[in-house]
Amino acid sequence: MKGLEIDFETRSDVNIKTAGTYLYMASAHTRALLASYRIDGGPLRRWCYGEPCPADIVEHVRNGGLIWAHNASFERLLWQMVLTPRLGWPEVSTEQFRCTAATAAAMALPRDLGGLSDALDLPIKKNKNGVALIRHFSSPRRAKKGEPPGIYFNEPEDFPEKFEQFHDYCDDDVEAEAGAAARMVPLSDAEQEMYLLDQRINDRGMRIDTRSARAALRVAERAKILLDRDMKEATGGAVTACSQVGKIVEWVNAQGVPIPSAAKAEIEELLEADDLPAHVRRVLELRQEAAKSSVSKLRAFLGRAGKDGRVRGAFLFNAASTGRWSSVGAQMHNLPRPRKVYSDLAEKHALNLETLFEAIRFADPKYLRFCYGDELGKPLHLISDALRSFIWAAPGHELLAADYSGIEGAVAAWFAGEHWKVQAMFDLIADPSLPDLYRRAAAGIFNTTTDLLTKKDPRRQVGKVSELSLQYQGGVGAFRSMARNYSLKIDPVYGPAWEAASEERREAAVTRYEQCVKRGEATTKQLSREAWLAAELVKVGWRATHPAIVGAWRALEDGIREAIENPGAKVQVMKCTYLVTRSFLWCRLPSGRCLAYGKPRLSEQVWAKKKNPDGSWADAEVMLRTTAEHLERAGLAKVESKAKPAATALGVDSVTRKYVRFALYGGLAFENIVQAIAADLLRNGIRLAEAHGYPIIGHVHDELIAELPRGVADLDFFLELICRLDPWADGLPLTASGFVGKRYRKD
């Protein structure tokens, strides 16, 4: 590998996990203690604090040489904020850096060096003893007896043997990074360009209204005192604080209302019940309001804001294997959705943001209720509703935000060849007064027309939930989860869904429900019989109106299977190509970028019947041969015939972050492709915006946020600009909407 491979060990009084890298480097107490490095694959060398920058590094950097590091933003910021200004090291440009963690993520490998070296089975792995050494040298120690107050560290000269071990640990990191780099496919030129853009976006940061954020925290503290008082009164003293979840559960159960826990989902489900006693409802609403996460969000904003009020480093490049970003630290990507009552007022322009923030700055929860009433003015809810708007532009500037409209639905229809839907999208672009896609989806599900199913018809919400939950092969469980996100009650859907369904669909739904009950599937316990049947009929109706998307699931699954069976052979499936080589299954997207799946393989499957708890035999289902034969030996299953093999691969679990094997079925492959194409469109929008003088400061899912001097932004031009398509996306119905304003908001 050509270039400078380098790894530093540092110390600081700032907790990098809570404050982030930018504030860590800004501290006057931050110091680079040591480094290990090699140049152009040469011998491993060392540097320690107090020594001048090594001559070979000076020469390499001044000649414009590349610098490789794992999580290279750390090394880059250390160099630019500490080494150059404080120690006189030569200046480096962001363009010189290459990040092996970003490369690993692009190949769906673990991003952390320890997990990566294990996944690649490298001869030299990350030294797991380093944690104790980092704790010893990199964090402040307690002041010793007789020492005046101050910040103290364990000094290297006082622990020479341990410090030598610390350098050994750094040596191993460089060796592991080099070994990983040699085994991985480097980022393409286009991906490296996007990585550099990502670094510039993170450097710019997003400005926080810190004054209002501090006032909002005072509002929250006072509101919680009032909520605790109300909780004590509502429960007759049995519960004295909204944080006493165990006592709340005990009290609610004592009122004859069963509740297993005070989890958000459990409370929301109970509050949907029409027959919930008023005094129990009051207690659950108090708990619900007190549990709002807006306080922790605001603390994260303030904890990571620099002296200029800007939060930097909030976006993680290639966080998902599809190439999508995620947000870290202040978590800009999971800001809460405002309540409907808030959104309705904002849409009607009855809610002025500057007036709201003036009210927040009073730091008095009672004043908010006085200004906005008992429902809208619930202090913690209102702060949560307005959380996005704590992000605002610098003095003399304004934000321009643009959101791609229904991008996943558009990509899914375009990729799968769901031509009627693509045409409907183009029709809507030409004439927005036409029935939207949610109405069209609902009309197909309920066997009616959009003339009879108006915009205000409650069935439209069913169409919306189905569009958001079913296109990736989701079923009853997926529909239920999305329905809860959008406060859709499923039981009332049963009547119109049952009436619209054919006799054949009704019989099939009932049969499937009975089978699922016998198997003890969770959804049959979570939903009433009517709600379960309603969700099943909606699923069947949606699939019937989307035959091309359903066909895409099967085609992708067959293509993946064919590629694994024939390593080295290219398998074309619609607009993608699959290929197995170098122990990976590659999926070449229409843009030319590739998705990666580690160590793909096929597992034998069979059709088998499982024994139900009552002793009867269920209908045959597909399962792994090993599982079926194990159950058969125990008398719990009967193998009937061979089925198509199942494809599996290795990837990083989105929850545990562990490198695990998972089933690569058609719906998941379709979801990966659709979301990857959506990411490519977002990347293209970022490139175009930057090239035309619209500096991007952030992005939230499929939304771009630029910051410009007041009066400069041209919204119409910007929306047209970011929707310009590369030739590979020809025919894709892409649109965007947006706004220009001082504060960020949900448009």
Mean pLDDT of each 10-residue bin along the chain, 747 residues long? 93 96 98 98 96 98 97 98 98 98 97 94 82 95 92 97 96 94 95 98 98 96 95 96 95 93 85 89 93 88 97 96 93 86 77 92 94 91 94 98 96 98 96 93 92 89 94 96 88 95 96 88 93 96 96 98 98 98 97 98 93 83 90 92 94 91 96 98 98 97 96 97 98 97 92
657: tokens are 């972050």
Unique residue bearing structure tokens 């501090």: 214
pLDDT in tens, 394-450: 999 999 999 999 999 999 999 999 999 999 999 999 999 999 999 999 999 999 999
Element (H, E) at 37: strand 31-39
Q: Classify 520 in phi/psi space as left (phi over 0), alpha (psi -120 to 50) or beta.
A: left
Which are the contacts of 121, defined by CB distance < 8 A and separation ≥ 6?
A: none
pLDDT given for residue 349 in this prediction: 62
Q: Could you tell me where in the chain the CATH 3.30.420 domains are found?
A: 4-187
216: tokens are 């909002």
From the list 553, 561, 579, 566, the residue with the least C-alpha distance to 674 is 553
Characterize the bridge pairing of strands 4-11 and 67-69: parallel
**3-state percent helix, strand, coil for the chain, nearest multiple of 5:** 50, 15, 35
- Round to whole Å and give the CA distance between 40 and 2: 4
- Round to whole Å and give the CA distance between 220 and 656: 32
- Round to whole Å and give the CA distance between 595 and 614: 45
Q: 4-187: which CATH topology? A: Nucleotidyltransferase; domain 5 (3.30.420)
Q: Which amino acid is at 585?
A: L
From the list 310, 318, 5, the residue with the least C-alpha distance to 178 is 5
Element (H, E) at 438: helix 437-445
Neighbours of 41 (CB within 10 A): 11
- Round to whole Å and give the CA distance between 304 and 308: 11
Is residue 195 a contact partner of residue 101, using CB atoms and an 8 Å limit?
no
Which are the contacts of 652, defined by CB distance < 8 A and separation ≥ 6?
A: 108, 109, 110, 111, 115, 321, 658, 659, 660
Backbone angles phi, psi at 738, to 5 degrees: -170, -165
pLDDT in tens, 103-132: 999 999 999 999 999 999 998 877 777 899
Per the prediction, the chain carries an average pLDDT of 94
Backbone angles phi, psi at 290, to 5 degrees: -65, -25
